[in-house]
Amino acid sequence: MKNNPPIIDIPLTGYETIFEIKKNPSFKSQMGFIFLKAVLISPFRTNTIADNAIMKTTRMILKNYLPDKQRIKQYRKICAFSEDNRIDIIPISYFQTLFIGLIGRFITSCFFPVNPLGLIHIFQSFEQKRAVTTNEILDLACILSGVRKTPKGIETDFTLEVMSGKTLVWQGVSTFLTKNRVNKKKPSKKKSDIFLAKKETIFVPSETGRKYAAVSGDYNPHHLHTLPAKLFGFKRAIAHGMWSLARVTASLDREFGIQDAAMIEAAFKLPIFLPATTILGYDRQNHTQGHPPIVHFELRDKHQGLPHLKGRLLYKNQG
């Protein structure tokens, strides 16, 4: 039996480079420019990194951001958040959308040596320290916090921070995979999957990608129409992974309430080809002494039971 190749951490060192974005442009113009730049620089970027490479610690920031109330209202509707909750409270999953432009600028800058095309969003976590309202002025920071060589390719972590005044109110980690071009190994056999109890059937309409792009700013072409999706190797347009996580979060919010301190982490699995019918399953483990309650959740294809998303919700201050 062959040993699996080791995971190699690429050190981040040196004085931290801080790059401040002075203005937050419109979503469409911003993402169009970023995508064009990614296409142009892609031939000059690599899909791998030397084992002895060293990368600079880098932070990209945007100060004095005022949340867009109308956009948040549309986000609530598209992701099915209940309107019974206080509408001035920003949904816990919404904050990730504020960093799409910052991450896009980051991966097309000189601070990021890996090919920006073909990045796959494989993991997302976020922790809300307290409820945040639409009237708060926020400072955003996107930090390259981890780089790893793995058997599948290069994994990169971006730590995302939201400050209100001098207080950290929300923090997340987005992990992306750049696949090895030479990795042709067949996937290994997986252990038998255990399904969580079915709680809700969720239909995903064909226009979901376009609607979510309008409120999130993620206009990656494979989410919008079948033709560009085929150019990226997909049979049809696929839903955003973050839409599926937001949609699950909305259901958990209706069932259990996510108003204050909480943490959600999720691994993205197989894509959702649009349109689709999915099944949400979850299981709550009540708190024990010294441990807060946890809700394990998953989103699966209705017909074959294949997983799209798996994760958990952890309460910080609740019983």
Supply the CATH number for residue 114's domain: 3.10.129.10
Query: In this model, does residue 319 exceed pLDDT 50?
Result: no
Q: Would residue 165 count as lying in a domain?
A: yes
Q: Would residue 2 count as lying in a domain?
A: no
Q: Would residue 210 count as lying in a domain?
A: yes
Q: Would residue 167 count as lying in a domain?
A: yes
Q: Which domain holds residue 310?
A: 8-315
Q: Would residue 1 count as lying in a domain?
A: no
Most confident of 31-45, 175-189, 201-215: 201-215
Instruction: Considering only residues 154 and 180, tell me which one the structure prediction assigns the higher pLDDT.
Output: 154
Count of domains forming the chain:
1
Q: Would residue 218 count as lying in a domain?
A: yes
Distances (CA, A) of 165 to 22, 71, 98, 261, 317: 18, 23, 17, 18, 23
Q: Would residue 3 count as lying in a domain?
A: no
Query: In this model, does residue 146 exceed pLDDT 50?
Result: yes
Share of the chain above pLDDT 70, in %: 87
Region label for 299, one of left (φ > 0), alpha (ψ between -120 and 50) or beta (otherwise): beta
- Give the residue-averaged pLDDT of 52-79: 90
